[in-house]
Structure 1
Amino acid sequence: MQLIPGPFTTAPADIRLAPDYYFQPDDLGPYIMRLLKSCPTVFDIKSTMAADLDHLAAAGLYAEPRGVVEDGALLQGEVIVQAGARIEAGAQVVGPALICTGAIVSAGALIRDHTVIGPGCRIGFGAEITRSLLIGHVFMKHPCFIGDSVIGRRVNVGSFCSTTGLRCDRGPVAEPAIEEITVTLGGQRITTGQTKFGAVIGDKVALPAGTVLSPGTLIGPGTVIYPRDHIGGFLPAGSRVR
């Protein structure tokens, strides 16, 4: 398999880079379903979503009816709260962001810019999310961090789990980041086209408490991860990791 440059504009040369490898797109609401189907690879999702959130009307999102925003919730910038969603008092959401039907953002949670919280997600106290897509029914009920990532349906993120989106193997970390994140598949290095990229976690994966993911981690759906402190690289669908 040859080196594949990013960002991608054509179909992936490796099925393990396709959104369909990680996620079942059905019954996720029109926006998320359209987003996943429009992206040739998982590396396209974050940039496509960010462009949509920067132009909400063009993405057809302003037509959505508004859900519940409790008194004491702090919303900054453009935040769309779909019908049936709720942002509780004490939660903070910094737009642009989309909170989908049935999602609950609880007191003490922080949702930062360019994030989509999919239908039925539960975001609890101390959870922080930025520049990420949570596809649907993701549970983040405890202090943890997800950044620059795509998280599949029915993923459980345990206490004190974290993605990491920056390379730190070449001296001091620069901000803004300048080192591109790469992944390795079949012994070949594949570029992502991004200097911040955390993880792609497929459907029905549970991260045990305290798990830290390296930049560019790809976890296939149905993977079982036993308690450990660090995960990285590519884990095929249905893996068991001790």
Structure 2
Amino acid sequence: MQPSVLGPSTAHAVDARLAPDYYFHPDGLDSYITQVLRNCRTVFDIKPAMTADLDDPAAAGLYDAPRGVVEDGALLRGEVIVQAGARIEAGAQVIGPVLICAGAIVAAGALVRDHSVIGPGCRIGFGAEITRSLLAGHVFVKHPCFIGDSVIGRRVNIGSFCSTTGLRCDRGPVAEPAIEEITVNLDGQRIGTGQTKFGAVIGDEVALPAGTVLSPGTLIGPGTVVYPRDHIGGFLPAGSRVR
């Protein structure tokens, strides 16, 4: 018999480990990002809320700030909001809807795709690909890697060739659009995310060593230290040491 999957209202109301404030502290974040984190009851609500806001940026109040710098030679398509103090360098590609917050830099050779928010002070470097993700602030993704369908906290460093994986591939051929719900495992219980693509939640001040691959639905608490290894999954409590 397959283990049961708890629905959102059942699991999320009772477990603090699924709340945004378990993973993220709002200090120094953009006001929009702070608002999203405060308004979402669980970490699983963040991506849908962000997606809805980027699909209607005027209603979400995302047009107030003056435009930042977009260098000649940068490729922008769709709705790309670049706040004052942000910079998209020549040779970068940004495919909206995307919000680039003040102080963030999307460098030459980087790719930022639909429904992403790049928070203040983030550095997105050559060969990095970001899609459908929130990077809260001062996140370093400066080397070739992939971050998709994920929520990344403050002062997180993503090493070279790291990857989140947000799609189940254990049920036969992969379907697109995806049809299998991603679940997370807490204390032996499978909890549904309500999403068919869900990568990882990485709390504040975590560093992923080069080459780390995260399973779908990985939750990493703030301050966790990850030693070099090739694969991580499941729930890692705040302050963990993972060898």
Hey, what's the Cα distance between the residues in 2 that align with 1:10 and 1:207? 28
Hey, what's the Cα distance between the residues in 1 that align with 2:34 and 2:11? 19
Look up the match of 1:235.
236
The CA RMSD over aligned residues, in Å, is: 1.4
Identity over aligned pairs, percent: 82
Look up the match of 1:12.
13
In structure 2, relative to structure 1, the CA distance for the partners of 1:228 and 1:91 (3 Å cut) is same
1:38-94 deviation line (CA, Å, top 9, x unaligned): 000000000000000000000000111100000000100000000000000000000
Report deviation, 1:26.
2.1
Structure 1's unaligned 5+ residue stretches are: none
1:11-37 deviation line (CA, Å, top 9, x unaligned): 632000000000001221210000000
Kept in 2: contact 1:9–1:40 (CA 8 A): no
Kept in 2: contact 1:12–1:18 (CA 8 A): no
Structure 1 stretches (4+) deviating beyond 2 angstroms? 8-12
Look up the match of 1:167.
168
Query: For residues 119-158 of structure 1, what are the structure 2 equivalents within 5 Å?
Result: 119-158=120-159
3-state secondary structure, aligned to 1:113? coil
Amino acid at match of 1:154: R
Kept in 1: contact 2:122–2:137 (CA 8 A): yes
Look up the match of 2:116.
115
Kept in 2: contact 1:88–1:105 (CA 8 A): yes
Query: For residues 22-171 of structure 1, what are the structure 2 equivalents within 5 Å?
Result: 22-171=23-172
Report deviation, 1:203.
0.3
Equivalenced residue count is 240
In structure 2, relative to structure 1, the CA distance for the partners of 1:26 and 1:9 (3 Å cut) is farther
Normalising by structure 1, report the TM-score. 0.97
Hey, what's the Cα distance between the residues in 2 that align with 1:38 and 1:104? 27
Normalising by structure 2, report the TM-score. 0.96
3-state secondary structure, aligned to 1:51? helix
Report deviation, 1:4.
3.6
Q: Which moved more, 1:207-216 or 1:24-33?
A: 24-33
Kept in 1: contact 2:6–2:189 (CA 8 A): no
Hey, what's the Cα distance between the residues in 2 that align with 1:12 and 1:74? 43
